[in-house]
Amino acid sequence: MKRQAPKPRDLRPLLKFKKPTMSARKRRLDAALTVDDLRAIAKRRTPKAAFDYTDGAADGEVSLGRAREAFGDVQFNPAILRDVSKVDTSRVVLGESVAWPFGIAPTGFTRMMHAEGEIAGAQAAKAAGIPFSLSTMGTTSIEDVAAAAPGGRHWFQLYMWKDRDRSMALVDRAAKAGYDTLLVTVDVPVAGARLRDVRNGMTIPPTLTPKTVVNAIPRPEWWWNFLTTEPLAFASLDAWSGTVADLLDTMFDPTVTYADLAWIKEQWPGKVVVKGVQTVDDARRLADAGVDAVLLSNHGGRQLDRAPVPFHLLPQVVQAVGKDVEVHLDTGIMSGQDIVAAVAHGAAFTLVGRAYLYGLMAGGRPGVDRMIEILTGQITRTMRLLGVASLDELNPEHVTQLVRMAPRPL
């Protein structure tokens, strides 16, 4: 084999050197190709108590594991020779168009994950053309979220408290601030047993112990942001110095019934979604009650461990109520493929919570933007590979649910 010395002019088109990126945050976010990558970054950069509050679930965390397994057990069935040069990912959700079939779920204590908190989420959602949901347990006020993302689509998530007047005062504030949808969460009569939080001594504000301090040493940016920005507090209630579980048990009302839901619905001028639906019978009853959507959710596995998997329930609920109300879904979503599978099974819309917080912890507002960029890229690519050019073309024939768990016959 004859060899010759390479000439510079021949090497130039073969070698391309990457321009250096001066921003460390941009470098780490650009290197994240999946939500799991963002999670790994978030874990490195966030103190254990805050990270575990996001990452953990109730008891043995069985429900969360099963929810993610359910999406992993999906088989896609692609069609070939379809024109997918253009893909339409928009749809009408609760009477208004959204750019993508997912929004940001309500999350509590968000500024504890990153100082930019709900403002980062609301602004990123507006830029992407998707809804942002603010939690009753949020750490930015109803009015400040609306002001930070004017023209964005804002939803408010309501926990019914024992103090009904205070609950409805929040509803009134949300309506006046322009929120168009109320997410009434119904799966929290008491707090779930979130054991990671108990073991970490999770309190608001965070409890400083020798172990906490040692864990924080390699995470100076989080502490600098935490200590030099507005003190962490709940936007919708007074300060609290106990554990999170104690707070939830003190606040939440275990006596809430369908009559209370009807009462709330009468006072809210916008759309009403009931979040935390876990049986077909409850979905039917809610449809009869006239709600606008049911949100299949087991609270991200954070309430009743070993609860039904929302994705497994989806086809039955759509068949039972889909013509009367929209069926939305959360819990276990970690990729755009998961969202496509849910839409193919009949979901009108999905919400992402942990994925959003992983992005936030990984890099503030740019981290949330990166999370959205990852999910939207996966959605578009999956649709093209399936041979569908719009969300409306997705149907149950595009997905097969492989069986890992099945009820044992009685």
| Catalytic center residues | 299
**Which amino acid is present at 100?**
W
How far is 107 from 55, CA to CA, in rounded Å? Answer: 12
Question: Which residue do the tokens 């942002």 mark?
Answer: 132
User: DSSP H helical segments within 101-237, as ranges?
Assistant: 110-113, 117-128, 142-148, 164-176, 195-200, 210-216, 220-228
What DSSP character marks residue 275? E
Give the number of other Cβ atoms within 10 Å of residue 100's Cβ.
21
Q: How far is CA 60 from CA 66, 108, 247, 282, in A?
A: 11, 21, 22, 26
The overall longest dimension of the chain from CA atoms, in Å, is 88
In angstroms, the first-to-last Cα distance of the chain is 74
Q: How far is CA 386 from CA 346, 378, 391, in A?
A: 16, 12, 11
Q: Is 124 within 8 Å of 215 (Cβ atoms)?
A: no
Three-state DSSP class for 352? strand
How far is 362 from 186, CA to CA, in rounded Å? Answer: 31
Three-state DSSP class for 7? coil
Q: Is 294 within 8 Å of 279 (Cβ atoms)?
A: no
Sign of the alpha-carbon dihedral angle for 106, 108, 112, 113: negative
User: DSSP H helical segments within 268-326, as ranges?
Assistant: 280-288, 310-321
How far is 272 from 349, CA to CA, in rounded Å? Answer: 14
How far is 172 from 337, CA to CA, in rounded Å? Answer: 37
Question: Which residue do the tokens 């379809």 mark?
Answer: 82
